[in-house]
Structure 1
Amino acid sequence: MHRSMVCPLCTYDTTKLVRIHSVRLGSLKWTLNATILLFICMVMLWNRKYQHFDLVVSSVTAKVKGVAHMHLPGQGDVIWDVADYSGPSQDKNSFFVVTNVIVTKKQKQGRCPEPPVSGRLCRHDDDCERGSWDQHSNGIQTGSCVMFDMLTRTCEVNAWCPIETKTSPPRPALLASAENFTVLIKNNIRFPAFNVSRRNILPEMNDSYLRICQRANDSLCPIFRLGDVVREAGENFSHMAMEGGVIGIQIKWDCNLDYLTRHCLPKYSFWRLDEKESNKTLYPGFNFRFAKHNEVNGVEERTLYKAFGIRFDIMVFGQAGKFSIIQLVVYIGSTLSYYALTTVLMDWLIGTSCYSSDVRQGYSEKKVESVVDKQKNILCVSYVDEDDIRLVKMCHKRRLQDAKTVGVEPRKDT
């Protein structure tokens, strides 16, 4: 007995194609294909998928200008310029402007009672531990319990005396006039992959232009009035000046280098970064302390300032793109699969009640062919001189007598 069998590794399967002659289906197919093509083209042009992109490398410097007049309690009228209100040096991409202060004058090194808000209440010297301190202390305890006022006794400390006692900032802010200060922001950028450099002070901006330019009339003007920056961030400068805060200045460069480089221009946006509501966060606003030292009659003195103000963080983002045939080919290849949506949708329409049952049945019969699974490669071999039946489940080119037996069943006589 011998039957020919085909090895599974020597076969090839293909998708069965059914062609339906229908004006409605043909029109629908080309409409869907045209819609998909339009969508692909719109996405390619809008997101510039045909370009190779490089991220911006940036450096920023800022220069604040302005003079403020304020009245300090116990000190009188004073004038503060940029050296006074700009505070200590900040991060390289930020600057700080003082808008409100608490001043403690004529502090000297000595011994004095610590305020109850930061010190330890006591009744006897035993309640004070000599040499102890914590993160809320203004000095180191001497071990003595002394009168702070007529009703309160606190532990004495070695510190700069008198110790700062006022905690709430003045209202309204003492330097509310900082609203009219201006800042010149200089931003230099580079796209290394394309060897392109730009800056926000454009070549046509000369010294005369920078003296008179205003952002109200020119969105590219690199000089900003602080009040306008806070207003564009959606805040009120007078309210923010009392406790301070943090404002973000974003400079965005989105450059299409397929056009002239002069079209590569910055866009500015502003928003507040910190939480402004006192009932939603601890320690709202922004403040720090600094001191000015001098010597009186050979004794060192200092004036302590608790400065409230606004920190401006400058953040630069951006990218530049240029045509790349590789990116275009990759994008086209990745979008070809979208056309399978047409086939899926049309098969669904034909298979539902949207089409007649006769057409649906005929299409299903043509497209899908059911095949019953049969084991056609099993051969049963029997010899007259043996009592058993040999089962051969694999095709072999050699003689059946030499084939390896896979299974053996007892032979039954009929």
Structure 2
Amino acid sequence: MGQAGFKGLSQSLFDYKTEKYVIAKNKKVGLLYRLLQVSILTYLVVWVFLVKKGYQDTDTSLQSSIVTKVKGVTFTNTSELGERLWDVADYVIPPQGENVFFVVTNLIVTPNQRQETCAESESIPDAWCYADSDCPPGEPVVAGNGVKTGRCLRVGNMQRGTCEIFAWCPVETKPRPVKPLLGKAEDFTVYIKNFIRFPKFNFSKTNVLDTKDRAFLKSCQFGPKNPYCPIFRLGSVVSWTGSNFQEIALQGGVIGIQIEWDCDLDKAPSECNPHYSFSRLDNKFSENSISSGYNFRFAKYYRDGAGVEFRTLMKAYGIRFDVMVNGKAGKFSIIPTIINIGSGVALMGAGAFFCDLVLIYFIKKSHFYRDKKYEEVRSGHLGNGKVNAEQLQNLQTAEA
């Protein structure tokens, strides 16, 4: 018995097994199968390979550097500052040019401040007082400009006064101008130079057009006719976000400049070019909202002939520009190609499995096709594949 089993096992090692296919002459199932094949093939070719470029390896770990340079001058004549010419050193913060830069468009100027005692601003609730006891000496004024000295200062016969403080005096009391001081800043331009690198493919590029014409950057300006010119007019940038420059210049705001790189490295490097989009990042609140606008304060210090320190305080309103860079690059690779083709073949197999289910379970003659597809074979076959009567009787007796 053991020898026979071993002999049968050794012989079966050299057997070749193949599948048995049943051809079902059913037009409905056949049409369904062809439709599934065409749909899967279309999905694989059009969507996976042509649209999504599934034959490429991708790199989204973009390395980027931004350099900005603003240009433009304007002239103003105000009571606080007199006649003044404004250039880049006056209105651009920070001066070195980064991916975030701020352009001053409006100012509240408080000149000739020095450290001494004076009345706190009436707009500060914590500075309101009715007696000296309301102004404890040495106590800082909440959201104010200095520390209390212990005196309550009144004007005329008014009952309510304001605490005297030690601070940079006189304190800022002027309202915001009704028109932007640097309204002509909309004609200023900014040069944005972007260096990018995709480390996986060791590919580097800049957004400056590769040209030998040195006059190009001196004369071009970004727009429909020059989509690859890296020089942008500030007024145009704001208008592309759907905002009005004069309105946003009055109380400030935040503008986003998005640079998108989508590079197909199977093509020439000259085909890899940036695409720009613009958006307003701060919420556009109503003019009366305390959350509207963008501003901050800075000061310029100096000393008089006696060595006393003075400063000019400036509350600057303006537009903050955030330059953001995103991108991806793709290049042919055999690995994703094989993976996506294998996925398509697997989907073909799933389609055949679905059609099998329809054929043997969901159509009228499903039992007929099921009997043809699944053949039940019992032990007791002869070499020619037939079962004699004696073997069949013995098999039935053994099963009984």
The TM-score by the shorter chain falls in which range? 0.7 to 0.9
Structure 1: tracts of 5 or more residues without a match = 1-14, 371-414
1:53 maps to 58
Letter of the aligned partner of 1:330 in structure 2? Answer: I
CA distance in 1, matches of 2:353, 2:287: 56
1:234 maps to 242
1:314 maps to 323
Alpha-carbon deviation of 1:212? Answer: 0.9
**1:80-119 matched pairs, under 5 angstroms:** 80-89=86-95, 92-118=98-124, 119=126
Letter of the aligned partner of 1:46 in structure 2? Answer: V
Alpha-carbon deviation of 1:62? Answer: 0.2
**Pick aligned residue for 1:162 from 142, 160, 170:** 170
1:244 maps to 252
- CA 91–84 in structure 1, closer or farther in 2 if over 3 Å, else same: closer
Question: Does the 8 Å contact 2:117/2:164 carry over to 1?
Answer: yes
2:261 maps to 253
- CA 300–17 in structure 1, closer or farther in 2 if over 3 Å, else same: same
Alpha-carbon deviation of 1:135? Answer: 4.9
Q: What's the CA shift string for 1:102-158, capped at 9, x where partnerless? A: 111221111011112224211111111111115502011111111267634111111
- CA 215–127 in structure 1, closer or farther in 2 if over 3 Å, else same: same
Q: What's the CA shift string for 1:355-377, capped at 9, x where partnerless? A: 5x3x245345656899xxxxxxx
SS of 2:174's partner is coil
Question: Does the 8 Å contact 1:275/1:281 carry over to 2?
Answer: no
Query: Which has the higher mean CA deviation after the structures are superposed, 67-76 or 179-188?
Result: 67-76
1:325 maps to 334
**1:59-78 matched pairs, under 5 angstroms:** 59-78=65-84
CA distance in 1, matches of 2:276, 2:24: 57
SS of 2:77's partner is strand
Whether 1:120 aligns to 2:101 is no
Whether 1:203 aligns to 2:207 is no
Letter of the aligned partner of 2:42 in structure 1? Answer: L
Letter of the aligned partner of 2:317 in structure 1? Answer: F
Letter of the aligned partner of 2:295 in structure 1? Answer: N
**How high is the TM-score relative to the length of structure 1?**
0.78
Whether 1:218 aligns to 2:226 is yes
**Pick aligned residue for 1:339 from 332, 348, 369:** 348
Question: Does the 8 Å contact 2:138/2:148 carry over to 1?
Answer: yes
Question: Does the 8 Å contact 2:69/2:97 carry over to 1?
Answer: no
- Identity percentage of aligned residues: 45
SS of 1:103's partner is strand
CA distance in 1, matches of 2:288, 2:361: 56
Letter of the aligned partner of 2:184 in structure 1? Answer: S
SS of 1:179's partner is helix
1:272 maps to 280
CA distance in 2, matches of 1:155, 1:245: 34
Structure 2: tracts of 5 or more residues without a match = 1-18, 377-400
CA distance in 1, matches of 2:244, 2:30: 62
Alpha-carbon deviation of 1:296? Answer: 3.0
- CA 202–58 in structure 1, closer or farther in 2 if over 3 Å, else same: same
RMSD: 2.8
